Structure 1
């Protein structure tokens, strides 16, 4: 009776301990979710890889609008026939569309909440997996928090890319696979293979995971000298489904086209590969894992290594490490096949390295977690401290990824097009009108925000502009900020051919009249303000550019734009030139600054073969010299056959309460080239639009 009572007490204590750990884990995860996602959970795809994420949102919208026809996935981009596109099995986008239908809204919140919810289910099974392997609830909680706070996972597990949901499916599949390995119940194997297949279908690269499990089973068959026919049939069915899905994707790509990656992108040679490897490690090492994660992983790895050398690893631990090793091997092959992608697309690590790292972590933590004596008290404190540091560092990475940067034109584009659907409605542009967007910086984001299908031009070279203008569209939309510097600079003749029908200060809508293109190669520059909806300037100045002056001096207020006789020669040693320095108050509340300049490389023999490349910079500074605002445009030679260039760029001037700020605008010869600047004119305008 006494033994039975003691056993009951042990079981009761274990149950209480388990309940306490799970309760605290749920509380911590809930707190982290609020901390990480309380503001971004409702956001349209933004910042890092918003392009790819908005493509996924477009697929969900496509299902919502095509009557939930799963077999004709489409986006808003009409470069593929009717927007239909070849894409890996879009089951998650389809389910998101169903949820949008149920809740009566297509807000991005639905997609983000779905991905986060699915990821949390995956973490629940990761907890069960780690507990099964280690026998310790607190170790399982550490494993889950390790994964949840890994910066790349933290960023994407409330986003739109299916790598997050595939990783969650992998966790669930691993749990059932190790249940099969422990109890040899085939229902568990079938669940494992089914869920791992579900992980592979939307992300073909996750085949690394399914194939690793297959290899483990093949090793078992080899040891048993017998093929497990039930398991073999299950794997054959899984790969038949995957093959059928890939064939159908290729059929759609061939029939309609695709806007998704459809080919491998290896390095060109060994030197290129090593450069990519070095750059990738430098860029991603502390986003893949924080320094606290790396330390925790190192401690776990040492514990596993010592146990392995002493022959004290359990069979289940060995199998976990074997799969981890196979996954690392698959990751190497994956890296070789897609090296050029990995340098800029960190989310591929979710398909490859993360499953290997997380499985590698578990056995070592289990060994440490089962220590006795003083170690039983110390190790939870150490791991807790490391996880707190990891969570804080991960938040810092999230803040960095969501930070507004001057170079992030994709985020600028999102802001410029936000609310454009209602604005176009107000102009009487129907929802079924086809829109041609220049300087779109994404294949779908501007179209989604306008609520209209169409075409996006990502690189506005003159030949691309000419081809785009032959497409079947109704209206042209261009962001004001990039219209003069990117579009007119590449194709000056469009000033005559575009007719502005409206704008909201961020974007302008045009129609194209090809019969208005004149024979002259360059437009008069005074027509550019009209195409931007700008009227009478509040401020205008011209600089006399001299050989010996970097700061230069301001002269007449002339409204004419005839070229001045003085040419400003910038040598390689001159880093800055052509500077306008005025109190911000002198602009009389203007919020737009239009800068016209002309430059050439034909004035002297040594400049004729030079490719001019420099920055036009706007900076607003406090009396102490601290930058309150900074933006620049990169100027490159447009055509090798043309020596003389006119260039115009438009800066937005933000509003400041302070009245002692200074506006500076100048040429930055950052690449130390020989330049000849012929003219610099500044006009500041006050727009009728007010933005937050």
Structure 2
């Protein structure tokens, strides 16, 4: 049987219906799930900000979190572009758990289309572009997050599209391409700062062409200056503003600092795990790993150093390596921080696939690797993260009926003390409450400024109810009882307790 789509030239008409249709079909059973599984805290915080935009104020400059103490919840974070899109969905259709997942998947699909266009621009081959788009669609990490409430998917798609439109403008000088690139690149950087890394291949391309006198400084200086000032200036201005909001509010739900490794042994362990596990298994898919290796060999041995795009793409890769080292502490468990690497990694996969397609006797291997990718992505992600109920979320919060009971136990406007929850956001999001959080129950009785126990301080600042599922605290710790007026609701291990007013709250010695 002759497989014409493996000839290195032909892209069949059914390619896009297959890749996007199959991807959507495999995700479809999970669209109605609430946040669940790995990095559920990040999903919860993102969806809480979106819900607060929808319910309180659609002002993009004033994003609000749930763990807000007695404040209005306004704090600094990355630019809430994704959260605002989700809030717009809520405005149009009402609050539904599926809306963030649908919004993310549509953004993901746009990113796949943009990557196809970028690879075709770089290689001149629709077939190689199709291989790249197919591979990107089945990155297990992206397969997981392509229906999660994760701003990184918007930043990734916007950065790929921004780079594509810049390169097309650079070669063809169509004004619309310039403005689209400016908008998308700025959006990528605002949404997640690390996606401004696409500026490195752009800068190297420009500097090289200036050196080789391929650019007219008189003609090109102004648009290039505008591009640099707007993309970098807007992004840095926003993050400076966000840091100031965090300092003003004292609400540090979103970390905006650098996190390099502080221990050499830990750094080596993290880098080793990234190389032998995260990249082949989660980032590119085992079905692409062999193609990646072939691509690296082809680049080294095939004279790619002399290619037009080699220098800019090498700069892109080196900038990503520097970013990885700067954020190395995050890379041990936060694989979504490595999503910016996908375009560069899949460009190498494309090179490897192109080399293999030129070997007719090995095309069966190429076909096998391509067919295996959706299977491997689904098997790696779906059973472990979406099937089997609640993952990293208490069952009472994951189940819609029990969650509604807990939500409706007290008014949404009442300030609550909620925990124990190390994330500071999961319980708040699922319970649809605002107020004071705590990581572990012992924290409730630790003195804070002024010498008051933390729980007494929360009551003094307006807390009316306590939500907790710590059965040891509820049944064996006598220090809690003087603060409790009555039990409002019990659902599974969770109890909702009405707290005594501040005038009745004991001091730190009365419960001893």
Matches for 1:504-523 after TM superposition, within 5 Å: 504-513=491-500, 514-515=505-506, 521=512
Aligned to 2:345: 357
- Contact persistence 2:45–2:429 (CA under 8 A): no
Match of 1:438 in 2: 419
What does 1:86-235 align with in structure 2 at a 5 Å threshold?
Answer: 86-103=76-93, 105-185=94-174, 187-224=176-213, 227=217, 228-229=220-221, 230-235=223-228
Secondary structure in 2 matching 1:470: helix
Alpha-carbon deviation of 1:28? 3.2
Local SS of the residue matching 2:270: helix
**Partner SS state of residue 420, structure 1:** helix
The equivalent position to 2:479 in structure 1, one of 480, 484, 493, is 493
Q: Which residue of 1 aligns with 2:433?
A: 452
Give the whole-Å Cα distance in 2 for the aligned partners of 1:380 and 1:139.
Answer: 14
Aligned to 2:449: none
Residue correspondence of structure 1 range 680-691 to structure 2 within 5 A: none
- Relative distance call for 1:65 and 1:363 in structure 2 (3 A) is same
When residues 202 and 469 of structure 1 are mapped into structure 2, their CA distance, relative to the original with a 3 A threshold, is: farther
Q: Is the 8 A contact 2:37 2:392 kept in 1?
A: no
* Contact 1:417-1:506 within 8 A present in 2 as well: no
CA contact (8 A) 2:182 2:231 kept: yes
CA contact (8 A) 2:34 2:398 kept: no
Length, aligned pairs only: 487
Distance 1:336 1:487 in 2: 44
Superposed displacement of residue 49, structure 1: 0.3
Q: Does 1:82 align with 2:72?
A: yes
The alpha-carbon distance between structure 1 residues 380 and 267, as it changes in their structure 2 partners (threshold 3 A), is same
C-alpha contact (below 8 Å) 2:261/2:329 kept by paired residues: yes
Match of 1:396 among 376, 379, 401: 379
8 Å CA contact retained: 1:63, 1:73 = yes
Q: 1:272 to 1:67 in 2, by over 3 A?
A: closer
Tell me the distance in 2 between the aligned counterparts of 1:361 and 1:213.
22
User: Can you give the 5+ residue segments of structure 1 that lack an aligned partner in the other structure?
Assistant: 1-12, 522-692
1:333 alignment partner in structure 2: 322
For 1:379 and 1:126, locate their aligned partners in 2 and report how far apart those are by CA, in whole Å.
26
The worse-fitting range, judged by mean Cα deviation, of 386-395 and 398-407 is 398-407
- Report the equivalent of 2:24: 33
1:289 pairs with 245, 268, 284, which one? 284
Please show how residues 182-581 of structure 1 align to structure 2 within 5 Å.
182-185=171-174, 187-224=176-213, 227=217, 228-229=220-221, 230-256=223-249, 257-281=251-275, 283-285=277-279, 286-308=281-303, 314-315=307-308, 319=309, 321-351=310-340, 353-366=341-354, 369=357, 371=358, 375=359, 381-399=364-382, 401-402=384-385, 409-412=392-395, 414-415=397-398, 419-425=402-408, 427=409, 429-462=410-443, 466-471=453-458, 472-479=462-469, 482-484=470-472, 491-495=477-481, 497-498=483-484, 499-513=486-500, 514-515=505-506, 521=512
Give SS of 1:27's match: helix
Please identify, of 353-362 and 341-350, the stretch whose mean Cα deviation from structure 2 is larger. Answer: 353-362
Residues 546-573 of structure 1 deviation map (CA, whole Å, 9 limit, x = unaligned): xxxxxxxxxxxxxxxxxxxxxxxxxxxx
Under a length normalisation based on structure 1, what TM-score does the superposition of the two structures give? 0.64
* Displacement after TM superposition at 1:461 (Å): 2.6
Give the conservation status (yes or no) of the 8 Å contact 1:324–1:360: no
**Equivalent runs, 1:588-607 vs 2, <5 Å:** none
Change beyond 3 A, Cα 1:505–1:359 = same
CA distance in 1, matches of 2:387, 2:478: 31
In the TM superposition, residue 125 of structure 1 has moved relative to its aligned partner by 1.9
Over aligned residue pairs, what C-alpha RMSD do you find?
Answer: 3.1
The alignment partner of 2:62 has SS state of: coil
What does the per-residue CA deviation read over 1:487-518, in whole Å, with 9 as the maximum and x for residues that have no partner?
A: 766x5422454342321224111133434998
Alignment partner of 1:59 is 2:49: yes
Structure with larger RCO (C-alpha < 8 A, sep 6+):
2
Taking the aligned partners of 1:379 and 1:322, their CA distance within structure 2 comes to 31
Partners of 2:115 and 2:133 within 8 A in 1: yes
- Residues 54 and 88 of structure 2 are in contact (CA less than 8 Å); yes or no, is this contact kept in structure 1? yes
Which blocks of at least 5 consecutive residues in structure 2 are unaligned?
A: 447-452
CA–CA distance in structure 2, aligned partners of residues 143 and 346 of structure 1: 21
Q: Which moved more, 1:270-279 or 1:248-257?
A: 270-279
Once the two structures are TM-superposed, the CA of residue 328 in structure 1 deviates from its matched residue by 2.1
- Are 2:11 and 1:24 aligned? no
Provide the secondary structure at the position in 1 that maps to 2:498: strand
Structure 1 window deviating more from structure 2 (235-244 vs 215-224): it is 215-224
- 233 and 32 in structure 1: CA distance in 2 versus 1, 3 angstrom threshold: closer
8 Å CA contact retained: 1:280, 1:342: yes
State whether residues 11 and 130 of structure 2, in contact with CA within 8 Å, keep that contact through their aligned partners in structure 1: no
Structure whose residues are more often helix by fraction: 2
Instruction: Describe the shift of the 1:413–1:378 C-alpha distance in structure 2 as closer, same or farther (beyond 3 A).
Output: farther
